[in-house]
Amino acid sequence: MAKKNKKDSTRRNFLKQGFTIAAGSLLGGGLIAACTKEQGPVATGEKVKVLTADGKLMEVDRGHAMCCNVPSSADVRKGIPGRHFVMVVDLTRCRNARACVKACSKMHFLAPGQEWIKVFLMQDSEDTTPYWMPKPCFHCDTPACVNVCPVGASFKRDDGLVLVDNERCIGCKFCMAACPYSSRVFNWKAPDNQVDAKYSPMTGVPQKVGTVGKCDFCPDSFLTGILPDCVTACPNGVYFFGDKNEDVVTNGVESFRFSDLVKDKAAYRYMEELGTQPNVYYLPPVDRRFPVEEGFESVPDSSKAAYQVKRAHLKKYKI
Amino acid sequence: MNQPELAQKTLVEIVSRFKKPSALSKGLFTFFALVILWAAYAFITQLMKGQIVTGMRDYVVWGIYDVNFIFFIGISYAGAMISGILHLLHAEWRKPIIRIAEMITVISVIIGPVFILVEMGRLDRIFNIFMHGRIQSPILWDVVAITTYLSCSILFLYLALIKDYALLRDNTELKMPKLQRYFYRKLGATYAGLPEQKKLLERALTIMSAIIIPLAVLVHSVLAWIFGMTIRPGWHSTIFAPYFVIAAVFSGTAVLIIAMWVFRKFYNLEEYITEMHFKYIGTILLVLAALYGYFTFSEYLTVWYGSQSWELEVIYKLFNLSYYGVWFYIAAFGGVLIPMILVGFPFLRSINTITIGSVIAVVCMWIKRYLIIIPTLETPLLPLQDARPEYAHYSASWVEWSLTAGGMATFCLFFMIFMKFMPIIPVADISEAPEHKDFISEKL
């Protein structure tokens, strides 16, 4: 508990100081850019090992290595160079503890009932087993939501993230209609209890009335070396977050080589046939650690009924 | 009596009919104005409290605002297709009704997009569309298409009005305020019926009707593509654009028949708008109903036969009586078959039955658009397990119904205002001797 509080205060601190940090990094970015322009990066003589995008380990001068990976506020729409963020969700471990949902809603100041991560009770057909499936935004590589946005309020970054700029959003909701995974939520009324922070699409905070919000993979956190909140909040280590280029994913406790993990555990992406190219991979729910019934413990009585409703036509056509 | 004198006589006769508002029209005018005021109150409520006052929620993100948008853009086809196509075909009999058709077009293209504006969560950021517009988005296609369509429709209406404005300008018998006369002088410009002026105007009108037909087709195609471009069941269909276009011409024609009936009845235009007009336009309605029914059948048969589970879920909701079945059968069968029967059988065919068929068609087309938008949105791909069960189902709130009523009232009110300043019967046109031989009206 103490640990959690500490983490929360770090987060709040970050939000409060968001502007300072952004200004600082802008200044830093500017300085480096100025250096590059005039005399290039200064060689220090000290060598460091880096992994290239195609998986080669190389040794470069530390001065050169510093040049990329300096986030600045100007990068909000471009993303962090050389990165390709992915998430792996291990369905064998999920028991609908809903800690991820709560942490996410708290961090992003979501309205009651609004969820950026949803946990579904899935049953693919009548004879197969039910399982819990957490679903963040898939940050698709061919995102339907970004294609249809008339003003570029939803945008795709080079590092794979799909973010929403709720200061540009006109609230047409076309993205919500276009997203086949219902990943987006709308602020139907002015949200209460918003933090007084400078808005950035990286934090998604504060929420604004008449605009769209969705899971953003918490890019503000991992810029400072912190994993997204859902990853750290999960008591069972369901979420693995990482960089496809670095080929590493971690849930904070265990780390895996991404390519090995998806190969060995036969990972899949939800509804591959839709062609949206998601960046979230699922490890199939084989040998589940928890019985599915346990998941209902954390569901309030008022919303239990939702899990009883089967797809309308299944009853009749027995598909 | 020579031609200008005849035209002036007809003009005085027609304009004076619209001059003195009857008690009924005064009452209606007040009623429509009150409905619009009420709608304005509803809209202000929505602006103050946010869209929480509507029935729209996270799954059903579009409601009857979108239904009204498609509905109004649909009925705008009255002018574009009927007047445009008939102009190109040189059908002489069209002349008395082109003004009504073109007025329907302009008014409904003005009202339709308003519903998209009220559907937006952040109306205050509307200019972002111009500042940050992205041409990849079908919404941008819509903005471009509809603004072009509106400007062309206004131009088309005005070009057809020039001759009448010239008559009004030269008129000395009618009493009218100075300002009105001033405008007629400006709008009538220098048109004096000279042969070269006539030829030029005729050419301009022909070009405009040739432009306006593809434009109208494009507008509704783009509208259909807003839905068709998404990968959702019930929307992601290749025939959606032509389906929407046919639906639009169908509903536009039906609204034209209703408007013809209203004007004929309340302004005693029996000698201008005759039974022949109802029968001709009714026949067009019949053909369109058949085409529309064919598209409906083709669309749902394909999806039902293919039976993809996501698609089937929407189909199930539409076909099942405990969901939308009743409405679907009324809209899909009633809206197509009843107008066809009423127009199709000679012993049933009369001015009144054709009008009744049109009213049924228009109402059913509104319902059908509701059934295109809402059931699909109520059927997400992933199971609907929301912590807020009330988010699963859509029902329009009083705010949405008020604005819908406001839209309909504005349509009628605009008509009442427009007809004060534009002769509802194209006087100059009907006083002219037919220039082209009209094979169709000769034969029938």
Q: Please write the tens of the pLDDT for every residue from B257-297.
A: 999 999 998 888 888 899 999 999 999 999 999 999 999 99
CATH code for the domain of A189: 3.30.70.20
List, in sequence order, the alpha helices (H) in B171-239. Answer: 178-188, 195-228
Q: What is the pLDDT of residue A76?
A: 87
Backbone phi, then psi, for A89, in 5-degree steps? -110, 120
In a domain, B423, yes or no: no
Kind of pairing, strands A85-90 and A280-283?
Answer: parallel
Same domain, yes or no: A288 and A177: yes
Residue B39 in domain = no
Q: Which chain A residue lies closest to B392 (C-alpha atoms)? A: A306
Return the pLDDT at B69: 96
Minimal Cβ distance to B389: which of A168, A186, A303: A303
- Segment B134-143 shows an average pLDDT of 93
Residues of chain B neighbouring A316 (CB-CB closer than 8 A): 316
In a domain, A53, yes or no: yes
Q: What pLDDT, in 10s, does the model give residues B320-347? A: 998 899 999 999 999 999 999 999 999 9
Q: Inform me whether the C-beta atom of residue A19 falls under 8 Å from chain B C-beta atoms.
A: no
Task: Check residue B221 and give its pLDDT.
Answer: 94
> Is B207 within the bounds of a domain?
yes
Q: Report residue B420 as tokens.
A: 């004060």
Among A75, A100, A116, the domain boundary falls at A75
Please state, in angstroms and rounded to a whole number, the distance separating the CA atoms of residues B195 and B216. 31
Q: What is the pLDDT of residue A35?
A: 40
Distance between CA atoms of B432 and B7, rounded to whole angstroms?
A: 8
Shortest CB distance from A316 goes to which of B57, B122, B316?
A: B316
Residues A124, A58, single domain; the answer is no
Q: Pick the residue from chain A with its C-alpha nearest to B141.
A: A150
The pLDDT-based confidence of B15 (bands split at 50, 70, 90) is confident
| pLDDT value, residue A21 | 44
Domain that holds residue B190: 55-396
Nearest chain B CA: its distance from A85 CA (Å): 24
Question: Do A89 and A32 fall within a single domain?
Answer: no
Q: What average pLDDT does chain B have?
A: 90
Per-residue pLDDT in tens (0 to 9) along chain A, 319 residues: 444 444 455 555 544 554 444 444 444 444 444 444 444 566 777 887 777 657 778 887 777 665 444 455 457 888 888 889 999 999 999 999 999 999 999 999 998 889 999 999 998 877 888 899 999 999 999 999 999 999 999 999 999 999 999 999 999 999 999 999 999 999 999 988 788 888 888 888 899 999 999 999 998 887 788 899 999 999 999 999 999 999 999 999 999 999 999 999 999 999 999 999 999 999 999 999 999 888 888 888 877 777 776 665 555 444 3
Give me the domain span that covers residue A12.
2-75
Q: B439 versus A241: which is more confidently predicted?
A: A241
**C-alpha–C-alpha distance, residues B105 and B250, integer Å:** 14
For the residues B120-143, what does the mean pLDDT come to?
93
Structure tokens at A173: 């909701």
In the chain, the amino acid numbered A271 is M
Co-location of A144 and A293 in the same domain:
yes
Specify the pTM.
Answer: 0.87
Contacts of B61 in chain A (CB under 8 A): 173, 176-177, 186
CATH label of the domain that carries residue B206: 1.20.1630.10
Same domain, A64 and A147: no
Q: What is the pLDDT of residue B85?
A: 86
Residue A313 domain-assigned?
no
Tell whether A182 and A225 lie within a shared domain.
Answer: yes
Count of domains for chain B: 1
Asked, for residue B106, whether it belongs to a domain, the answer is: yes
| Residue A59 domain flag | yes
Let me know: does B120 contact A169? Beta carbons within 8 Å: no
Residue B436 confidence (pLDDT) above 60: no
Q: Which residues of B touch A148 (CB under 8 A)?
A: 136-139, 229-230
Which are the contacts of B239, defined by CB distance < 8 A and separation ≥ 6?
Answer: B295, B298, B299
- Nearest residue to A169 (alpha-carbon basis) of A192, A193, A185: A185
pLDDT at position A41 is 61
Residues in CB range of B234: below 8 A, 6 or more apart: B303, B311, B314, B315, B372, B375, B376, B379
| Among A15-29, B100-114, B253-267, B294-308, the least confident range | A15-29
Distance CA B203, CA B199 (A): 6
Q: Taking residues B47-61, report their average pLDDT.
A: 94
Q: Domains in chain A: how many in total?
A: 2
Q: Which of A102, A115, A165, A311 to mutate to test the interface with B (most CBs of B within 10 A)?
A: A311
Instruction: Report the C-alpha gap between A256 and A90 in whole angstroms.
Output: 12
Q: What is the mean pLDDT of residues B394-406?
A: 96
- Encoding tokens for residue B43? 């809209």
A304 within some domain: no
Distances (CA, A) of B333 to A46, A145, A193, B360: 80, 35, 51, 11
Neighbour-count burial for B247-284, b at 16+ CB within 10 Å, e otherwise: bbbbbbbbbbbbbbbebbeebebeebbeeebbbbbbeb
Going by C-alpha positions, the residue among A303, A198, A247, A267 that lies closest to residue A84 is A247
Give a yes or no: residue B185 inside a domain: yes
- Whether A61 and A148 map to the same domain: the answer is no
**pLDDT at residue B248 in the model:** 95
Are B121 and A169 within 8 A, CB to CB? yes
Which of 110-139 (A) contact B at CB < 8 A? 113, 115, 118, 120-122, 135
Q: Which residues of B touch A181 (CB under 8 A)?
A: 381-382
User: How far is A115 from A190, CA to CA, in rounded Å?
Assistant: 16
- Tell me what pLDDT residue A224 has: 81
Q: Which of B128, B232, B323 sits opposite A151 (nearest CB)?
A: B128
Cα(B406)–Cα(B413) distance, integer angstroms: 10
In a domain, B61, yes or no: yes
Residue B20 pLDDT > 70, yes or no? Answer: yes
Q: Where is A120: in which H helix or E strand?
A: strand A118-122
Residue pair B279/B376 in contact by the 8 Å Cβ criterion: no
| Residue environment code for A173-188, b if the CB has 16+ CB neighbours within 10 A, otherwise e | bbbbbbbbbbbbbbbb
Interatomic CA distance for residues B52 and A222, integer angstroms: 34
In a domain, A151, yes or no: yes
Q: Which of B125, B140, B315 to mutate to test the interface with A (most CBs of A within 10 A)?
A: B125
How many angstroms away from the CA of A190 is the closest CA of chain B?
7
Q: Are A110 and A251 contained in the same domain?
A: yes
